């Protein structure tokens, strides 16, 4: 299975835990098929109206640390 190591939104990279906290309210009451492996809605958008982009371990990371919690990605 492909592992998501980060998400890009709000013009920065964020760890899966921070992304889950940021978008958890959008997942309430949704069927599992509308959520990714981290419980984030697959159609979630940031404040600018851009869809979240999952970053996988083989992708080039735009940043080396989470923009929210500063944990290494």
- Tally of domains within the chain: 1
Q: What is the pLDDT of residues 27-59, one digit of tens each?
A: 666 666 688 888 888 889 999 999 999 999 888
Pairing of strands 12-14, 4-9: antiparallel
Does residue 15 lie within any of the structural domains?
yes
* DSSP E strand stretches across the chain: 4-9, 12-14, 53-56
Distances 6 to 29, 30, 31, 51 between C-alpha atoms, Å? 24, 22, 23, 14
Does residue 70 lie within any of the structural domains?
no
Does residue 64 lie within any of the structural domains?
no
Does residue 73 lie within any of the structural domains?
no
Does residue 71 lie within any of the structural domains?
no
pTM: 0.82
Q: What is the largest CA-CA distance in the chain?
A: 34
Q: What is the pLDDT of residues 1-25, one digit of tens each?
A: 578 999 999 999 999 999 999 998 7
Range of the domain at 15: 4-56
């Amino acid at each position: 299975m492909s592992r998501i190591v980060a998400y890009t939104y709000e013009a920065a990279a964020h760890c899966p835990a921070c992304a889950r906290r940021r978008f958890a309210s959008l997942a309430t009451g949704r069927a599992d098929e509308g959520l990714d492996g981290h419980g984030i809605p697959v159609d979630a958008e940031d404040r600018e109206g851009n869809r979240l982009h999952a970053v996988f371990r083989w992708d080039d990371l735009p940043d080396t640390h989470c923009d929210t919690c500063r944990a290494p990605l």
